[in-house]
């Protein structure tokens, strides 16, 4: 009997979850592992948001909701996005709430991509972009983010990647896994390319707000809102990864399609998490500032350790909570690829990191370190990495 190659070959999945499973297996054998692989804040969701969810459960908000989400949440999102970006958002036509930003990315790609279409994706980049494109029958066209450009997607590189089949370009600033952020000129330039070739811009802004050193966050919403599919959510800014709630804000015709995909896949997002999300958006925002401050401290802890290495190379992250580290000298010495290195390092020093190859072809030779762990664990994990890599390379 046949199975779908579209899934077995087309969908690669998110490597971080595989590494987590591997680390958990090691832990089951009694070993204590330092987790620097998974992309989630280790902080608890703020109490006022948790309380709102409990209240909603007790009120009986435990039923199906409309597929696009409950009206008060869609209104709150429209207001929040409208105010932040200085645009007018019609909650009933432009906002769709999904089970995590990940689902809205998938729904957005299914909504615009047809057989043979091309979508420009950052490489390295968040794996569900390319998977969603392939699943929709399209072809991801990778634009290599180079350390020389501080891992930023340049308008020139996007322009070069455009063909007559290109439907959309995906941007992600602050960026997973590199922690880079696009400059105003780059965002403007990418919008111009999109305008010249009539492309959609999928702008994944899930890490907005987690940015350091006064680096300004710039969105294509500022230059070309009519062609932007904005992806955002609650996971990172409000430490709500397990609540599975994200949203898209897009032109009406796209949103109609997105809602159809949400309808057939999950019917609707969880009812009581939606009520809690209203509290997240309308309540005090000091937690978001605190999260950004704590991640900056963690970044500085990680970089202080990495700087002790005579071998490791990285580009200083300005946002998100990752640093992408070049381990290629150690790979050459060990005769391993980045996945082999991830396994070797986990076994040898009990630290879980994410192999760069899981984030796209250009990620080979690199690893991603997440700051989603305590200061002590981030410091100790990086210390072990430096110790091991320097020893291997110098031996």
Binding stretches for ligand PLP (CB under 6 A): 39, 100-102, 126, 172, 176, 204, 206, 233, 235, 241, 246
CB 135 within 8 A of CB 6: yes
Taking the complex as a whole, how short is the minimal distance between the CB of residue 395 and ligand PLP, in angstroms?
36
Residue for token digits 């707000």? 209
Instruction: Report residue 88: phi and psi, to 5°.
Output: -95, 125
Cα 25 to chain centroid, rounded: 25
Rg, C-alpha atoms of the chain: 21
Taking the complex as a whole, how short is the minimal distance between the CB of residue 177 and ligand PLP, in angstroms?
8
Taking the complex as a whole, how short is the minimal distance between the CB of residue 265 and ligand PLP, in angstroms?
13
- Kindly tell me which of 159 and 235 has the beta carbon lying closer to ligand PLP: 235
Instruction: Report residue 228: phi and psi, to 5°.
Output: -100, 135
Burial 228-254 (b: 16+ CB within 10 A, else e): bbbbbbbbbbbbbbebbbbbbbbbeeb
- Kindly tell me which of 102 and 227 has the beta carbon lying closer to ligand PLP: 102
Taking the complex as a whole, how short is the minimal distance between the CB of residue 333 and ligand PLP, in angstroms?
31
Copy the structure tokens of residue 303. 């970089």
- Kindly tell me which of 100 and 381 has the beta carbon lying closer to ligand PLP: 100
Taking the complex as a whole, how short is the minimal distance between the CB of residue 24 and ligand PLP, in angstroms?
18
CB 120 within 8 A of CB 134: no
Instruction: Report residue 196: phi and psi, to 5°.
Output: -60, -35
- Kindly tell me which of 73 and 330 has the beta carbon lying closer to ligand PLP: 73
- Kindly tell me which of 235 and 279 has the beta carbon lying closer to ligand PLP: 235
SS3 171: strand
- Kindly tell me which of 111 and 241 has the beta carbon lying closer to ligand PLP: 241
Taking the complex as a whole, how short is the minimal distance between the CB of residue 125 and ligand PLP, in angstroms?
8
Copy the structure tokens of residue 354. 């994410």
- Kindly tell me which of 126 and 345 has the beta carbon lying closer to ligand PLP: 126
Other residues' Cβ atoms within 10 Å of the Cβ of residue 156: 14
Taking the complex as a whole, how short is the minimal distance between the CB of residue 231 and ligand PLP, in angstroms?
7
Which residue's CB comes closest to ligand PLP?
100
């Amino acid at each position: 009997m046949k199975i779908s190659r579209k899934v077995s070959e087309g969908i690669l999945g998110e490597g971080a979850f595989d590494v987590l499973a591997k680390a958990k297996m090691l832990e089951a054998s009694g070993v204590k592992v330092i987790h620097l692989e998974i992309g989630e804040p280790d902080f608890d969701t703020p109490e006022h948001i948790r309380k709102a969810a409990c209240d909603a459960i007790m009120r009986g908000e435990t039923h199906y909701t409309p597929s696009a989400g409950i009206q008060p949440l869609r209104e709150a999102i429209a207001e929040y996005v409208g105010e932040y970006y200085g645009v007018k958002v019609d909650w009933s036509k432009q906002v769709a709430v999904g089970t995590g930003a990940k689902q809205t990315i998938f729904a957005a790609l299914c909504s615009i991509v047809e057989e043979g279409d091309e979508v420009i994706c950052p490489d390295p980049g968040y794996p569900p972009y390319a998977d969603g494109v392939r699943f929709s029958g399209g072809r991801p066209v990778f634009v290599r983010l180079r350390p020389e450009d501080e891992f930023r997607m340049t308008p020139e590189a996007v322009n070069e990647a455009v063909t007559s089949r290109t439907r959309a370009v995906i941007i992600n600033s602050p960026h997973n896994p590199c922690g880079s952020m696009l400059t105003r000129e780059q965002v403007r330039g990418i919008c111009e390319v999109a305008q010249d070739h009539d492309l959609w811009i999928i702008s994944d802004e899930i890490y907005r707000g987690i940015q350091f050193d006064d680096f300004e966050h710039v969105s294509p919403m500022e230059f070309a809102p009519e062609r932007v599919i904005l992806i955002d959510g609650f996971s990172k800014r409000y430490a709500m990864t397990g609540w599975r709630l994200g949203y898209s804000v897009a032109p009406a015709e796209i949103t109609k399609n997105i809602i159809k995909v949400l309808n057939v896949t999950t019917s609707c997002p969880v009812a009581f998490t939606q009520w809690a999300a209203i509290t997240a958006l309308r309540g005090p925002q000091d937690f978001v500032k605190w999260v950004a401050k704590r991640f900056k401290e963690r970044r500085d802890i990680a970089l202080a350790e990495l700087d002790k290495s005579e071998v490791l190379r990285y580009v200083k992250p300005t946002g998100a909570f990752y640093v992408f580290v070049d381990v290629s000298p150690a790979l050459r010495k060990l005769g391993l690829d980045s996945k082999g290195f991830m396994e070797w390092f986990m076994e040898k020093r009990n630290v879980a990191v994410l192999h760069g190859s899981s984030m796209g072809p250009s990620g080979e030779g690199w690893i991603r370190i997440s700051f989603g762990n305590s200061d002590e664990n981030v410091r100790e994990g990086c210390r072990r990495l430096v110790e091991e890599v320097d020893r291997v390379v110098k031996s």
